Chain A
Amino acid sequence: DTAVSQTPKYLVTQMGNDKSIKCEQNLGHDTMYWYKQDSKKFLKIMFSYNNKELIINETVPNRFSPKSPDKAHLNLHINSLELGDSAVYFCASSQEAPETQYFGPGTRLLVL
C-alpha cells in the first residue's frame, strides 16, 4: 500500500488556468505538508496542516489555497496559474516530533 499518494503525477496546463493536486496518506499521521521543488531541485515548504488546521503558511501567493477535508487528505488548489508555478510539488506527512516526514512521489506541474 502506498503511504503517501498524490494525483495527478503529471499536470500540463496553460497560463491562467486553475488546477488542483490531491494528496492522501494512509499512515494515520496528524500533520501534512506541501513542498515546492524548483528547477534547481531546491525544496521549500509551502503549507502545513495539523488535524485539519493550518499551521504553517510560508509567504505563498494567495493564488495557492490548501484544503484539508480530513486529516488523511490535503489538497492544493492553484488559481490563475503562472509560468513560475512550474515545479514539482510534494506532499508529505508526519506524526509527532522529532519528525520523520514521509513524502509522496510528487506532481510535476508544467505551465505553458
Chain B
Amino acid sequence: AQSVTQLGSHVSVSEGALVLLRCNYSSSVPPYLFWYVQYPNQGLQLLLKYTSAATLVKGINGFEAEFKKSETSFHLTKPSAHMSDAAEYFCAVSDHSGGSNYKLTFGKGTLLTVNP
C-alpha cells in the first residue's frame, strides 16, 4: 500500500520568501506523485504531477517539485511567496488499483500562511 507523509501541518512564511513544503512517500512500485492546492471553501486543484518523466516538475503559479527516488521525497517549492498562495496543500501518491483505475492516497495536508 502507498502512503504519504507531509512534514509540518502548518508552514508560515513572509511574502517574498522561499516556500518549501515537504512530502515523503512510500511505494512498492514506481509512483505517480501529485501536489494539489485547496483554497478556503473550495475543491482541490492540481498544481503539478510527476509521472516518471523529468524529475523536476514545473506547475502552475510558479511552483515546482523535485522527485528524489533515493530520498523517497517530492518536496514542493516556490522561490517567492505571494499572499495569494495562502492555502492548504496536499501531496498525493497514485496507487494502481487494477484495470484502468488509480486511487489517490493523500497526505494530511500542510496549511501555508503568508505574512505581509
Interface stretch among B19-27, B68-76, B95-103? B95-103
Q: A26 vs B45: C-alpha distance in the bound complex, in angstroms?
A: 17
Q: Knowing A42-B109, A45-B104, A105-B43 are in contact, say whether A55-B99 is a contact too (CB < 8 A).
A: yes
Q: Are A50 and B99 in touch, CB under 8 angstroms?
A: yes
How close is B52's CB to chain A, nearest CB, in angstroms? Answer: 8
Q: A99 vs B36: C-alpha distance in the bound complex, in angstroms?
A: 13
Question: How many pairs of A and B residues are in contact by the CB < 8 Å rule?
Answer: 69
How close is B41's CB to chain A, nearest CB, in angstroms? Answer: 8
Contact of B94 among A30, A99, A105 (CB under 8 A): A99
Q: A25 vs B7: C-alpha distance in the bound complex, in angstroms?
A: 34
Q: A50 vs B51: C-alpha distance in the bound complex, in angstroms?
A: 21
Query: Does A12 reach chain B (CB closer than 8 Å)?
Result: no
Query: Does A100 reach chain B (CB closer than 8 Å)?
Result: yes
Interface residues of A (CB under 8 A from B): 4, 30-31, 40-45, 48, 50, 55-56, 90, 92, 94, 96-106
14 A-B pairs in the complex with CB atoms less than 8 angstroms apart? A41-B38, A41-B88, A42-B109, A43-B44, A43-B90, A45-B103, A90-B44, A98-B94, A99-B32, A100-B34, A100-B46, A101-B104, A103-B45, A104-B43
